Amino acid sequence: MEEEKTTAQNLAGGAKDLKDHVSDFLGTYIELTGVRLAEKVIALASALINFAAIALLSFLFLFMLTFGLAWWIGDLINSHAGGFFIVAGFYLLCVILLISVGKKTFIPFLRNLVTRLIYD
C-alpha cells in the first residue's frame, strides 16, 4: 500500500516536472521568436536606411548631372531655356516609357526586391 502511495507521488512529481519543462520550453521559444523578429526588423530598417541614403545621393548626382547637361546643351544651341526644355523632354519620354512598360516589368521587379528584403 505504501509502495503505491510512493509511486503515485513520484508520478505526480514527474508530471509537475514535465509541466515545468514544457513551460520553460514555451517561454524560451517565445523569446527566440521575439529575437528573430527583432533581427528581421533591424535588418529591414537598416536596408531601408541604406536605400534611402543611396537614393538621396543618386538623386543629387542625377540632379547636378542633369543641370550640367541642360546648361551644356543650352550653350550648344545658344539658348539655356532650350537646353532645359530638351532635357525635360527626355525625362518626359522616360516617364512615358516607364508608365507603358512598368506594369509588366518594373512593378514585378520592385515587388520581388521588397519580398527578398523582407524574407532574407
The pTM for the full model equals: 0.55
DSSP string, 47-72: HHHHHHHHHHHHHHHHHHHHHHHHHH
Q: Is 79 helix (H, G, I), strand (E, B) or coil?
A: coil
Cβ pair 109, 91 in contact under 8 A: no
Cβ pair 47, 116 in contact under 8 A: no
Cα separation of the two ends of the chain: 62
Cell numbers that stand for 79 in this block: 539658348
67-118 pLDDT, tens digit each? 999 999 999 999 999 999 999 999 999 999 888 887 788 778 888 888 887 7
